């Protein structure tokens, strides 16, 4: 549901209840704890009216609660193949299914209507790299207590089932789906050393994982929205080109992700039965610098669609 429509509905409800300005008052003048208690009581009252019949009807019609059409064994094989390429270099973690309210908007500029907000000041995970970056930044913060200039990177990997509220169309699009997420958090080391290492690692882990899952070949398309890191592009391309069945190209015309990725980003595509499909995306972001209030922090994120791999490669 778009922002304009939700605002229109909110205005109509305020008018019907004779409470003009109630939305702004609840959003800005009521403490978070009090608002949570108020909403919990509202939903307690509404839940009390639910019946087995109404719950069954909602289950049939609500895309957010219906099971995935994929086979569990196919998804498990895809997860195992992708994780096998990361474990050893990246530390596996199990994330919570939710993050603090507003996280996706604060870090990734994701419209709030595109995530599912809860009444407990949290929101359902829509991107595992957001939760991984929160955890990586927390770990870096602990390191700073003894070494404020530490360059020791934090490398984390996870698989997570996420939910996105915007409508999707097509047989390969679902309201909830599995993603492999990778995050590297570290410090600027000069001469783009962090960027060279982190981008190369993410590209090779993603490409190797797709090959392990059954892809015939993997294509990597590199872009630099800042046009300031040709040395990073060259370093990644040279490293990936040495790997069998991985092809690297530079895409100077990419527009998707402008504003989300400040500089280097990439797409991962794989060939299966002579057809090529996109499975992954990644790039440098400024999330760690913002979370730690430290301009020297660097963050690299990437993700691969487990469901799409399961659909095509399992």
pLDDT at position 1 is: 54
Tens of pLDDT, residues 4-15: 777 788 788 878
Smallest Cα–Cα separation from 209: which of 40, 104, 107, 78?
78
Q: Is domain 72-313 in CATH 3.30.930.10, yes or no?
A: yes
Q: Which two tokens stand for residue 206?
A: 């993603």
**pTM to 2 decimal places:** 0.90
Q: Which residues contact 297 (CB under 8 A, 6 or more apart)?
A: 137, 140, 185, 186, 187, 188, 288, 289, 291
Domain coordinates in residue numbering, the chain = 3-61, 72-313
The pLDDT assigned to 275 comes to 86
Question: Strand pairing partners for 79?
Answer: none
Per-residue pLDDT of the chain (314 residues), as tens digits, is 556 777 788 788 878 787 788 888 888 888 888 888 988 898 899 899 999 999 999 999 998 999 999 999 999 999 999 999 999 999 999 999 999 999 999 999 888 888 999 988 899 999 999 999 999 999 999 999 999 889 999 999 999 999 988 876 666 678 899 999 999 999 999 999 999 999 999 999 999 999 999 999 999 999 999 999 999 999 999 998 888 899 999 999 999 999 999 999 999 999 888 889 999 999 999 999 999 999 999 999 999 999 999 999 86
pLDDT of residue 16: 78
What pLDDT does 76 receive? 96
* Gap between the Cα atoms of 199 and 284, Å rounded: 8
**Predicted confidence (pLDDT) per residue in 145-198, tens digit:** 999 889 999 999 999 999 988 876 666 678 899 999 999 999 999 999 999 999
């Amino acid at each position: 549901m778009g922002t304009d429509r939700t605002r229109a509905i909110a205005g109509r409800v305020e008018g019907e209840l004779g409470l003009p300005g109630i939305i702004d008052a609840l959003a800005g003048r009521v403490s978070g704890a009090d608002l949570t208690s108020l909403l919990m009581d509202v939903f307690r009252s509404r839940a009390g009216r639910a019946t087995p019949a109404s719950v069954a009807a909602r289950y049939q019609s609500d895309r957010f609660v219906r099971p995935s059409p994929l086979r569990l064994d196919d998804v498990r094989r895809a997860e195992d193949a992708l994780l096998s390429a990361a474990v050893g270099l990246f530390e596996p973690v199990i994330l919570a299914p939710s993050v603090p309210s507003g996280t996706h908007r604060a870090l990734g500029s994701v419209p709030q209507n595109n995530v599912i907000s809860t009444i407990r000041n949290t929101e359902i995970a829509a991107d595992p790299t957001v939760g991984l970056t929160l955890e990586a930044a927390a770990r870096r913060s602990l390191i700073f207590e003894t070494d404020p200039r530490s360059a020791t990177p934090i490398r984390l990997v996870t698989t997570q089932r996420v939910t996105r509220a915007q409508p999707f169309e097509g047989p390969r699009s679902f309201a909830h789906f599995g993603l492999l997420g990778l995050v590297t958090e570290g410090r600027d080391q000069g001469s783009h050393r962090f960027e060279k290492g982190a981008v190369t690692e993410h590209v090779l882990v993603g490409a190797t994982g797709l090959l392990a899952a059954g892809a015939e070949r993997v294509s990597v398309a590199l872009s630099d929205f800042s046009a300031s890191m040709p040395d990073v592009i060259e370093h990644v391309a040279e490293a990936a080109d040495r790997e069998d069945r991985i092809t690297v190209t530079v895409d100077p015309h990419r527009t998707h992700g402008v504003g989300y990725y400040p500089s280097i980003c990439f797409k991962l595509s794989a060939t299966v039965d002579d057809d090529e499909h996109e499975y992954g995306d990644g790039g440098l972001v400024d999330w760690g610098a913002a979370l730690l209030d430290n301009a020297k922090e660097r963050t690299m994120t990437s993700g691969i669609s487990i469901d799409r791999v399961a659909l095509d490669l399992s």
